Structure 1
Amino acid sequence: MMDFLGGIYPWIKALHIMAVLAWMAGLFYLPRLFVYHAERASVGSELDQTFQIMEEKLLRVIMNPAMIVAWIAGLIMIGLGAFDWGAAWSWIKLVSVILMTGAHGWMAARRKEFAAGTNTRSGRTYRLFNEVPTVLMLFIVVAVIVRPF
Structure 2
Amino acid sequence: MTIFWLKALHVSFMVAWFAGIFYLPRLFVNHAECDEPKVIEHLKGMEKRLLYFVTPFAFLTVIFGIALIYQYGYQWFVAAKWLHIKISLVIGLLIYHGYCFKLLKTFKEDKNTRSGKFYRIFNEVPVLILFAVIFLVYLKPF
Q: Deviations over 1:91-145 (max 9, x none)?
A: 1101000001111111121011111111111111101111110111111110111
Shift of 1:41: 3.5
Counterpart in the other structure of 1:21 = 15
Q: How does 1:3-82 map to 2 (within 5 A)?
A: 5=1, 8-42=2-36, 45-61=37-53, 63-81=54-72
Q: State the distance in 2 between where 1:50 and 1:71 align.
A: 31
Q: State the distance in 1 between where 2:32 and 2:78 align.
A: 43
Which contiguous aligned blocks of 4+ residues in structure 1 show a shift greater than 6 angstroms?
none
Unaligned segments of structure 2, at least 5 residues = none
Of 79, 92, 96, which residue of structure 2 is paired with 1:99? 92
Identity of aligned residues (%): 38
Counterpart in the other structure of 2:134 = 141
Q: State the distance in 2 between where 1:104 and 1:146 align.
A: 26
Unaligned segments of structure 1, at least 5 residues = none
Q: State the distance in 2 between where 1:71 and 1:118 align.
A: 32
Q: Deviations over 1:51-73 (max 9, x none)?
A: 01110110112x10110110111
Please tell me the residue identity of whatever aligns with 2:40: D
For this pair of structures, how many residues does the alignment match? Answer: 140
Shift of 1:86: 2.4
SS in 2 for 1:80: helix
Q: Does 1:124 align with 2:109?
A: no
Counterpart in the other structure of 1:89 = 82
| TM-score normalized by the length of structure 2 | 0.93
